[in-house]
Amino acid sequence: MNRLALFDCDGTLVDSQHVICDAMEEAFDQHQLVPPSRAETRRVVGLSLIEAMQALLPEADLSLHARLAEDYKRAFQGMRRRGAVNEPLFEGIVALLDQLEGKGWLLGVATGKSDKGLAHCLENHGLGGRFITLQTADRHPSKPHPSMVMQAMADAGAGPATTVMIGDTSYDMMMGRAAGTYCLGVDWGYHHPDELRIAGAHGVAEHPDALVDMMEKWS
């Protein structure tokens, strides 16, 4: 079977926290609600929008969660039109992808972003053709449900024994574990390394270079 390196996007490939927090604050302002702190918003990065709103406002009803999710999308789209979306790649990511491809790994993404949001992000960094499978919140249940991982493996001709889920949140680790894959956390994202280990990470990398060695030793 093929070997698949399946990446989360926000907090793993790109540092998108500032634009996510700005959009969240604008969405809450639309409803005259006190916005969550930036730390609270970072905690829900990776979840699909409805689930993120439910986590931030657990006492609110589903209709408010849905309206907030739509207003978040509009806020994000407005920032994109204004050229205000800045999602820089973390240092070392391009070199990491190069190394993995050179060692025969196929690459994929499993993210809470929308199809459009992921496409914009990858195209802006010239990465649109690097990934054999792109799984988003538009077509799957929210993390940590394993649906995205299962479809990515099917697309890549890989299986749980030849797939590594790589992410920065406990949701990523739980998703990978639920699909039976090897799971590696990264400590440059939005959840603490201890949380990643508790959620099932087999290891946590401190820098992209470390991921290659960890993956090659496992496989």
Alpha helices in 47-162 (DSSP H): 49-56, 62-81, 93-102, 115-124, 147-156
Strand-pairing partners, residue 135, are 110
Q: Among 10, 15, 22, 71, which one carries the catalytic annotation? A: 10
Identify whether the C-beta of residue 188 lies closer than 8 Å to the C-beta of residue 90: yes
At 45 the three-state DSSP class reads strand
Q: What are phi and psi of 35, to 5 degrees?
A: -65, 150
- Joined together, the tokens standing for residue 191 give 């959840």
- Joined together, the tokens standing for residue 105 give 């790994």
Q: Among 8, 71, 168, 172, which one carries the catalytic annotation? A: 8
Is 155 a catalytic site residue? no
Is 168 a catalytic site residue? no
**Which residues participate in catalysis according to the annotation?**
8, 10
